Structure 1
């Protein structure tokens, strides 16, 4: 088992740093497996919110490869989806989850946000009811280069959001990140609006594991951990969550010591 090289706490948030993204992914996979096993020993079912993005790929592969998780007892949700995109679109988060998770583990159920719905507000209500039907045992997150969690960009993030799921306009930095990571060919092809699970719903999860490797995340990690707790960096809300752990590699953590 690969261990973190550094452990510390910022306010209520635990932080663990690893030599490499691979080490981080393998250790988080082991931690998640043990946590889910523990949850399922205490009750019949578990509910998990999953994130998409490149930061999750090695972790998801490692978790699935480990085995020994009874996925038939786990209901899965995802954090966000573009408005107007079909489930078979290459950038669809539903497609990401179906190919990388659902088809490989066959969970009890996977509830998807229907990005191509004709009634977006009704879809927010539908997904809200599904999420609120049980406690969320685990939320796995990434962090955007603008500090977003899910699609809670600084311009729309609300630490006291009255909604659990909402429709938001994506900010230009977020949309450009989707191009930079290869999800879309150019900025004009990135949808302007998306569905997102909100920050209070994320923070209601009994356990939160946030994975943020890579050099391109270094600046926002510095802001998140050393700046003020503010919607200017939505991820900073995790510093108020004692049930949350932030996992970094040496690349994403390298500005913390400068």
Structure 2
């Protein structure tokens, strides 16, 4: 794992945006795996600015989002499709046909997960997967558990994950859907290259554990140790406990 240490969250965003811009310059038809949450917002803002200035072109790129809540659709402001449209898709010209997000209103979520896996395979797999990190070590919505599912699947969210997403639901964790669909760790690890973006002191212990601790289903992010091309881009606060 390569560790790129930045002075601030904005520097993390700028470096991550540069990695995306470099990839699209070299591979215009690249397939991206994209996250939601607070951490990537600055990166999306930077990419939107660069796209507006003509410095990066998303016109031929394809993307697949890591996850989506079960039971809400794009019209709900807390949906990840709405998040992506507002922060990136509509600002850089990624159409619905190329910006793939799981359908939270699918009649059969399990079938929707299978369809999503097939779509990733049909696109040739993911060239660059961008990830955030949950404070409890989850990646996407792969929560700490006795076992992990490899492929895109339906999951019951733990309370820390519902609290972390409460800001998108009027600050009330009880209004966050109890279930979601998420890429599995196997799907994530099949990406050719991975960027992990982490900021803030609240995740410092988790960062240290995922780098130096054992690979364990109780810390899903630790499975990134098994990938051949991972770059951790973090600020000094998130890196404070790395030895």
Equivalent pair of 2:24/2:56 in contact (CA under 8 Å): yes
- 1:227 match: 213
> What is the count of residue pairs matched by the alignment?
236
Structure 2 Cα separation of the partners of residues 188 and 227 of structure 1: 33
Q: Normalized against structure 2, the TM-score is what?
A: 0.91
Equivalent pair of 2:131/2:196 in contact (CA under 8 Å): yes
- 2:153 match: 166
Aligned: 1:112 with 2:96: no
- 1:35 match: 23
* Farther off after superposition, 65-74 or 166-175: 65-74
- Provide Cα deviations, 1:186-218, integer angstroms capped at 9, x if missing partner: 222121110001111111111111101112212
SS in 1 for 2:27: helix
Aligned: 1:215 with 2:201: yes
- TM-fit CA distance, 1:156: 6.9
Structure 1 Cα separation of the partners of residues 229 and 9 of structure 2: 22
- Provide Cα deviations, 1:17-65, integer angstroms capped at 9, x if missing partner: 111111121122112211221123xxxx221110001000111111222
Equivalent pair of 2:37/2:165 in contact (CA under 8 Å): no
Equivalent pair of 2:207/2:238 in contact (CA under 8 Å): yes
- Provide Cα deviations, 1:147-203, integer angstroms capped at 9, x if missing partner: 011000112762xx45x2100111122222223xx2232222121110001111111
SS in 2 for 1:70: coil
What are the within-5 Å matches in structure 2 for residues 1-258 of structure 1? 13-40=1-28, 45-67=29-51, 68-107=55-94, 109-133=98-122, 134-155=124-145, 158=148, 161-162=149-150, 164-179=151-166, 182-184=167-169, 185-257=171-243
SS in 2 for 1:73: coil
Structure 2 spans left out of the alignment, 5+ residues: none
Equivalent pair of 1:155/1:171 in contact (CA under 8 Å): no
- Provide Cα deviations, 1:230-251, integer angstroms capped at 9, x if missing partner: 1111111111212111111011
Structure 2 Cα separation of the partners of residues 150 and 37 of structure 1: 27
SS in 2 for 1:16: strand
SS in 2 for 1:55: coil
Structure 2 Cα separation of the partners of residues 239 and 84 of structure 1: 33
Structure 2 Cα separation of the partners of residues 165 and 140 of structure 1: 16
Q: Normalized against structure 1, the TM-score is what?
A: 0.86
